[in-house]
Each structure stands twice: as structure tokens, then as C-alpha cells.
Amino acid sequence: MASHRRPKQPSRARVTVLTTAAAAAVALSAQAASAAPSEKPSKDEVKSKVDKLYQEAEQATEKYNGAKEKQDKLEKQISTLQDKVARGQDELNQLREGIGTMASAQYRTGSIDPSVQLFLSSNPDDYLDKASTLDQLSSQQVEALKKIQEKQRELAQERQEASDKLKDLAATRTELGKKKREVQGKLAAAQKLLNSLTAKEKAALAAEQSRASRASERSVLGGDTGSASSRAGAAFSAAQTRIGSPYVYGATGPTSFDCSGLTSWAYAQAGVSIPRTSQEQANIGTRIYSVNDLKVGDLVFFFNDIHHVGLYAGNGQILHAPRTGTVVRYESMNTIGGPFMFGVRV
């Protein structure tokens, strides 16, 4: 028979312990909830993270510039090859027409040689390889066939070269798109961080940058402005006219620039053509490893992978296009954010 006894009630002491534990758990949960949101990063922390993102964006920008330059070169080369193929095909058609006229003349006189049929063949190689056939041809006919043979081989090579370059172009365009997305991603992340700052903090950062730029400008104006050469001086003078122009990745002027876009534009104004990217610019001219030996207008390179370049402005300062969100300006070499690697005198 089932028991109808009442269940044993918990003791007063047990209830007290459970109540205390529950209260403690609630308190801990409340503390965890209040601590869950991470503390807002300081202005300096945001600046440090943003600067790092901008450096990464500039690295990707120089790779983007290299892919863009390669794409432009390939497009020009392909266009030239396609023109050559078209002209070569016209020449080949004219050669074949000439041989066809010769065969028609022999046919009308009733003295056409069976071997003349090879003139009309699209592949005379098979016939020319046979000595017995060559014996039946005049020297004029042999020469005409050899010209066709050479033209066909030349066209085949040019078509293959064009085909290879078209494949290379497709791969380069893919790489270009990838680098563009990488740059945009870094810039978006940096902007998101900047948006987390208050208006007061943003104003403080802008004021710091402005003071640093003015200090660099005073240092340049008060220092030795002697240039390494007339063309270096002309390039530097051209870059000075762009002070205040915005940094835009991939831009080469005349109203906006990225770092290597500014240096290549400046030297172009001096009548000197230099490569587009910082890595390529590093491989021209004479390298200078001591800051003390630099002259105004020399190219100066920073970071181990040479992803940033500017123009030496004298007295330890450079004139450059720093990064997104800034303009072409003077800046101390000590505040670039990466080590000075060497200079190049063009």
C-alpha cells in the first residue's frame, strides 16, 4: 500500500544557505553584465590602431598599384600584338593571292604543274619538306612558298604570345580586385575606429597633426634647402605646389595622390620618368644609406618592405602623401611610423 507521508521539509538553516547562495549568484551575474561591455579605448589607443590599419592599407595600395601598372602594360602589349597579327594575316593573304594568280596563269596555258597546287595549300610545310617537290619548282616559286611558311610560323607565335598575355591579364585583374577590396577593408575598419571617438577627441587628434606639420614646415624653411641636382630641385618644387592635396589610394595627381603617385608625378614635372610603385622606385638611381648624406629632392623609403616613399625636404623632414585622411604635407622622418631604409638619388 502506497505511503501517504508528507515529504520532509528543508530545515531553516538549509533555506538560509540556499537563499544566500542565490543572492550571491544574482550579484555576480549583475557584476558580469555590467563588466561585459569592454571599456571604450582611449584616443591614443584608437590612433595607434588606426595608424596600423593605415600602414596595412598602404602596403596593399602599393601592391594594387603594381597590379594596375602590370594590367596597363599587358593591355598595351596585347593591343600591339593583335595589330601585328592582323597585319600579318593581311600579308599572308596577299602572298597566297599572288601564288593563286600564278597558278591561274599556268592553268589557262594548259601547262599547270601538279606541284603548283601546293601554292594554294594552307600548310605548305608538308610539301617543302619533300625534295622531289622542290625539284619541280622554280626558284621564284620556292621563295614565295618560303615566305608563306615564315609568315605562318610568325603568326602562330604572335597568336600564342597574345593568348598567354590574355591569360596573364585575367589573373592580374583578379589580383587587382583582391588588393582593392583589401585596401577598402582596411580603410573601412580604420574609419569605424575613428567614428568611435568623440568630436572633442577627433579635434584633439587633428590639432596634434596640424602642430606637427607646422613644426616640420618651420624646420624645412629654416634648414639647408640645397638639392642634389637641378632635376631633384625641380621635382621637389613641383611637389611643394601640391601641399594640401588629399591622399587617395591609387591616385597619381594632379589633384590627389598616394605616396608613390606623388613622387612619380613630381619627377615627371621635372622631365624625369620614374617607375610607379615605391618598390620599383627603390631600384633606380644611387642609394644613400645615411640621413646626413641626403639632399633635397632625394627619394626616401621607409619600412622593411619599402611600401612608403617621399621626397627629402632637408633638416630631417620629408614632403609626402602620408595616408588616407591626410593631405600632402611636411613631416619629420621620426614620426613616419616605420624605419628609414635608404634614400635614392635620381
From 165, 276, 320, 329, active-site residue: 320
* pLDDT value of residue 193: 87
320 classed as catalytic: yes
Q: Which range has the top average pLDDT, 116-125, 144-153, 239-248? A: 239-248
Look over the chain and give the mean of its residue pLDDT values, rounded to a whole number: 79
* pLDDT value of residue 19: 47
From 68, 295, 308, 329, active-site residue: 308
57 classed as catalytic: no
118 and 127 in contact (C-beta within 8 Å)?
A: yes
Cα maximum dimension of the chain:
134
**200 pLDDT above the threshold of 80:** yes
- pTM for this entry: 0.63
**8 pLDDT above the threshold of 70:** no
Q: For cell 620629408, what's the residue? A: 318
**111 pLDDT above the threshold of 60:** no
Distance CA 205, CA 186 (A): 20
From 148, 190, 251, 259, active-site residue: 259
Least confident of 101-105, 262-266, 307-311: 101-105
Mean pLDDT over 313-327 rounds to: 92
307 classed as catalytic: no
Helix and strand tally (H, E) in the chain?
9, 6
Domain annotation for the chain: domains and CATH numbers: 43-193 (1.10.287), 204-345 (3.90.1720.10)
320 and 328 in contact (C-beta within 8 Å)?
A: yes
Amino acid identity, position 87:
R
* pLDDT value of residue 127: 54
Least confident of 80-84, 112-116, 256-260: 112-116
DSSP states along 176-214:
HHHHHHHHHHHHHHHHHHHHTS-HHHHHHHHHHHHHHHH
